Structure 1
Amino acid sequence: MKSKLILGVLLVLVAFYNTLAYSAATKVSGEIYAFYANDLTQNGHGKGYNKFDLSRVYITLKSTLSKEVSVRVTADVANMGGDARDIYLKYAYLDWNIEKVIPYSTIRFGLQQTGWIDYMNKVWGRRYVAKTLMDEYKALSSADYGVSYIVKFPKGYGHGSIQLLQGPGYKGSEENRYKDISAFVFFRPLMQVPDLAASMVGGYYYKGFSDKPDITSENKKDRVAALGSLAYGGILRICGEYFMSWDRTDPKDTEDLKKDGISLYGDIRFPMAKSTFLKKMALVGRYDLYDKDKDKEENEKEYVIAGVEWQIVEGFNLMPNFQREKMKNEDAQDAFVVNALFAF
């Protein structure tokens, strides 16, 4: 059944491409996330267990219909474990540039990115290695149906958006009459200082409701998040993301389930090096701390990544790294992983 579904979606993408290719400027692109993992501890599959696999494949079609209107369609092929693969329509939206009416503004309609996770992936820059904080711990879906107003600030100072979203995400279906609303802003306050121009701050608010049927307005799904990023001269970058969530998703719930998490990450590059090899290298580190229930003890989970990334050529990145996952008062799960990005 799944093989037929995959074939069907691919045929739709091909038909979409062939149709638009005759009427508009259409580009095909994609990303493949491949990895090799070797367990270093007895937890999980056991010490010495190793495998090659794909974690994600994205195929994207973008078409410019006019100076003001463009369309994007992205298929997402996910690793479901073992030999199984599942395919989803990840994005299918239209962008309408309305700068002639409202300066610096765009309206987006359809199945689209939830703005915070999408931009956090750009800040982290290594989605092929790991998801970002709120995506990893399922605080938000990375895509949803809805409409967005997007504004880009003049002179590259940042951007922001207000989104009206369905709520269950791109893999779910609507079960009630409620819709979710979110807003975020990213701002680069040091644009006039060349070595610090890439530094930024950001904030996010999400007011949502349970995805279940027969709920009331008390059955909430609220989130807040913040970002701080300091970048210096293309050499050093240090970033921190924090989120907190309040859930009362079941009609029988009388109290909020409170969660929070923090992700600290950064990289060191060597643009001044004479060696081309060193110029394309980055030392990368990341530390996450996630608490799945703030009202209970011993719920914290730690996640560590430490590695070296190389850009072999444009579109081919390789990152050997050490990863550790550890629940409080439990033994750690350690692994040596080689992640690869193939982009075309």
Structure 2
Amino acid sequence: MKRLSFFVLFTLSILILRAQEQKITITGKPIVTLFANYHTGLGHANSSSGFELDRAYLGYQFKLTENFGGKVIFDIGETNLKGADLERVAYVKNAMLSWTPGNFTLDFGLVKTEQFSLQESFWGYRYILKSFDDEYKFGPSADMGIIGKYRFNDYISADLSFTNGEGYKKINKDNNYRYGAGVTLTPVTDLTFRIYGDIYTGNSDSTENQSNLSLFAGYRHKLFRIGAEYNKLWNATFTEGNNKDGYSVYTSVNAGKKFTVFGRYDYLHSQEEQFRETDGQRILAGVQYTPIRFLKLSPNFRNWNPQNGKAESFIYLNLEFKL
């Protein structure tokens, strides 16, 4: 493993030296993205209401040469820690360099992962709800490591990743690593298929390796898009028998230049009874209004029906501002 890490760092050094040999004209742009909402519960959940700043992404994207650049993004969000005095906490979400010679892309650093990147893009409403793997913690959206991507032609592309596996909120202090691979197929225009799998190694002989499988199919039309994904997680948190799976189906229909109507259904299931505390079904439906290019507004209804417990329904008004 140390040899592989050394090879990665050596390769990156060569890339930087090659970039320096070229004429450098630094260009860039700021990154500013805000997610906020107002929500109120219905029925027995009506005591839950208020305004929230879900996320603030602040950063800068730069380009040193035609095929060498990078970006740094800070993620400011809620602590999610019971009893914590801090109401907001900031993390470095991305701090990465990218080298793109032709159809090949190499990302190094604190990179955006490929596990559900396509699904999140296809879903298209990250400011309202995360995509399935992200929402139910099947994998991190960013991680420290290296990712290589190659587009063979208009029909097929592939990616390989070697990362710490713990995500961008934790520092790797063990010998655990996540090895991932994915293939994306576009047999005809606007029709996309993807398969992805990874293995996240345990830190001892008594710990089970965790592994993931993601399958996706989606179709885009100028009037609508529809996507479906199936996800399987074996030995979650390195616990033998903690196997989960589920699927997500979503669609979006254009209703004019500034309006879209969307809906989504999620189903999450654990194999063993003892791990079903977070299982359930989710329904989401709403309308998006885009008054200007930088701003999106969405009134929406969502219902969460847990495996064990009472169903909860909410009305949300979500906002996204993005430069």
TM-score by length of 1: 0.80
1:340 CA displacement: 0.8
How big is each residue's C-alpha offset from its partner over 1:259-303, in whole Å with a ceiling of 9 and x where there is no partner?
011111001113xxxxxxx32211100010011x21328933111
In structure 2, what is the Cα distance between the partners aligned to 1:230 and 1:162?
24
- 1:205 paired to 2:197: yes
| Residue 261 (structure 2) aligns with | 283
CA contact (8 A) 1:290 1:302 kept: yes
Match of 1:4 in 2: none
Contact 2:236–2:243 (CA under 8 A) maintained in structure 1: no
For residue 217 of structure 1, report the CA deviation from its aligned partner.
8.2
Aligned residue pairs total 294
Quick check: 1:209–1:249 contact (8 Å CA) kept in 2? no
Change (3 A) 1:200 1:248: closer
Partner of 2:15: none
Contact 1:164 1:180 (8 Å CA) reproduced? yes
Q: How do 1:187-266 residues align onto structure 2 when only pairs under 5 Å count?
A: 187-191=185-189, 198-210=190-202, 214-216=203-205, 219-232=208-221, 234-247=222-235, 249=237, 255-266=240-251
Q: Within 1, Cα distance between the matches of 2:63 and 2:49?
A: 44
1:13 alignment counterpart: none
- 1:63 maps to which residue? 62
Q: Does 1:84 align with 2:76?
A: no
Residues 248 and 128 (structure 1 numbering): CA distance in 2 closer, same or farther, change over 3 Å? closer
Residues 159 and 186, structure 1, Cα contact 8 Å, conserved in 2: yes
Looking at structure 1, the residues matched to 91 and 308 of structure 2 have their Cα atoms a distance apart, in angstroms, of 37
Partner of 2:36: 34
Question: CA–CA distance in 2 between the matches of 1:248 and 1:71?
Answer: 32
What is the 5 A alignment of 1:114-129? Answer: 114-129=113-128
Amino acid in the other structure paired with 1:92: A
For residues 215 and 174 of structure 1, the distance between their equivalents in structure 2, rounded to whole angstroms, comes to 15
What is the identity, as a one-letter code, of the residue corresponding to 2:195? G
Determine helix, strand or coil for the equivalent of 2:115: helix
Tell me if structure 2 keeps the 8 A contact 1:219–1:248: no
**Structure 1 residue 188, shift from structure 2 partner:** 1.5
Question: CA 1:248 to 1:297, structure 2 compared with 1: closer, same or farther past 3 Å?
Answer: closer
In structure 2, give the amino acid aligned to 1:280: K
Amino acid at match of 1:35: N
Pairwise CA RMSD: 2.1
CA distance in 2, matches of 1:54, 1:119: 25
- Return 5+ residue gaps in structure 1 as ranges: 1-21, 192-197, 271-277
Separation of aligned partners in 1, 2:156 and 2:170: 31
Asked if the contact 2:31/2:73 (under 8 Å) is kept, the reply is no
Q: 1:48-67 deviations in whole A, cap 9, x for unaligned?
A: 54211110011121111112
Residue 42 and residue 186 in structure 1: after superposition, are their counterparts in 2 closer, same or farther (change >3 A)? same
Cα pair 1:176 1:215 within 8 Å, conserved: no
What SS does structure 1 have at the residue aligned with 2:121? Answer: helix
Instruction: Mark the CA change 1:329 to 1:248 in structure 2 (over 3 Å): closer, same or farther.
Output: closer
How far does residue 130 in structure 1 lie from its aligned partner after superposition? 0.4
Q: Deviations over 1:168-225 (max 9, x none)?
A: 111112232232110112222112xxxxxx2211110011123xxx513852110001
Q: 1:301-330: CA deviations, max 9, x gaps?
A: 111110011111101111100011111252
Provide closer, same or farther for how the CA distance between residues 75 and 298 of structure 1 changes in structure 2, counting only shifts above 3 A.
closer
Scaled by the length of structure 2, what TM-score is found? 0.85
Q: Are positions 1:318 and 2:317 aligned together?
A: no
Q: What is the letter of the counterpart of residue 201 of structure 2?
A: F
1:114-145 superposed Cα distances (whole Å, 9 cap, x missing partner)? 11222222111110000000100111011111
Q: 1:42 is paired with a residue of what secondary structure?
A: helix
Looking at structure 1, the residues matched to 322 and 296 of structure 2 have their Cα atoms a distance apart, in angstroms, of 9
Which of 177, 195, 210 is residue 175 of structure 2 equivalent to?
177
**Structure 2: distance between partners of 1:118 and 1:78:** 20
Contact kept? 1:113, 1:142, Cα under 8 Å: yes
Contact 1:298–1:329 (Cα < 8 Å) also in 2: no
Contact 2:242 2:275 in 1 (8 A): no
Shift of 1:249: 4.5
